[in-house]
Structure 1
Amino acid sequence: MSRSTIHANCLVVGTKGILIRGASGSGKSSLSETLIESAQVRGQFAALVSDDRVQLRVETGRLIAEPPSTLQGLMETRGFGIVQVRHLPKAQVHLIVDLIDLEEMERIPELAVANVMLEGAQLSGIKCPAVAPQSALRLIRWAFKHLFPGSPDYF
Structure 2
Amino acid sequence: MENTIHIRLAKKSDAELIHNILSDSFKAYQELFTEGAYAVMVVSPKGVEKRLNQGPIWIAEHEGEIAGTIGGMELIHTFQIRGMVVLPHLRGLKIGYQLLRYVENYARQNNYHSLSLLTTAHIDEGIKLYKKFGFKIINKPPYEIDGTHCIYMEKLIL
TM-score (norm 1): 0.34
Higher share in helix:
2
TM-score (norm 2): 0.33
